[in-house]
């Protein structure tokens, strides 16, 4: 399974590229937002299931927040933006921007969390 950090960074990169493309109308890019949002929701549910089933450690509130709840909100916002794009283009674009920023910040947090875990916990355990 791909790691959440890579998936979220990839989603942000795809959204950035798609939103810069010269679409003839909002419908095409809105479909992309919806598909990406739905795929993200399925992925987050899979991550939540893996977190619950693994026995290596007990996930804390921060883990649940940054690996499940915030990404779930971001991908749901993408789906909502896709659904509302025809009625309110400006609002839909703000929703996509908010979802992108949230995924970017979650990805940065998760990357930082992984690095500090490997440096301060794993390295000390090897010494």
* Residue 87 lies in domain: 4-19+26-119
- Domain assignment present for 126: no
Q: Residue 56: its pLDDT value, please?
A: 83
Instruction: Give dist(CA 5, CA 7) in Å, integer.
Output: 6
Residue 124 included in any domain: no
In a domain, 127, yes or no: no
Average pLDDT over residues 78-102: 97
Classify residue 14: in a domain, yes or no. yes
Query: For residue 125, is it within any domain?
Result: no
The pLDDT confidence band at residue 103, using thresholds 50, 70 and 90, is very high
Residue 56 lies in a domain: yes
Closest CA to 8 of 36, 49, 45, 46: 36
Residue 62 is assigned to a structural domain of this protein: yes
pLDDT at 92 over 80: yes
Number of domains in the chain: 1
Residue with tokens 């399925």: 42
Q: What is the DSSP string of the chain?
A: ---HHHHHHHHHHHHHHHHHS--SSHHHHHHHHHHHHHHHHHHHHHHHHHHHH--SS---HHHHIIIIIHHHHHHHHHHHHHHHTTT-HHHHHHHHHHHHHHHHHHHHHHHHHHHHHIIIIIHHHH-
The Cα–Cα gap between 55 and 49 comes to 12
Percent of the chain with pLDDT over 70: 95
In a domain, 82, yes or no: yes
pLDDT at residue number 120: 79
CA distance 74 to 76: 5
């Amino acid at each position: 399974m791909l790691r959440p950090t890579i998936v979220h960074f990839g989603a942000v990169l795809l959204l950035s590229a798609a939103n810069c493309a010269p679409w003839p109308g909002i419908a095409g890019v809105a479909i992309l937002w919806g598909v990406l949002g739905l795929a993200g929701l399925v992925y987050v549910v899979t991550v939540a299931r893996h977190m619950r089933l693994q026995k290596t450690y007990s996930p804390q509130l921060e883990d649940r927040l940054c690996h499940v709840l915030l990404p779930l909100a971001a991908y749901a916002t993408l789906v909502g933006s896709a659904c509302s794009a025809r009625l309110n283009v400006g609002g839909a674009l703000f929703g996509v921007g908010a979802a992108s920023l949230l995924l970017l910040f979650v990805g940065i947090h998760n990357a930082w969390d992984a690095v500090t875990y490997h440096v301060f916990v794993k390295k000390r355990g090897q010494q």
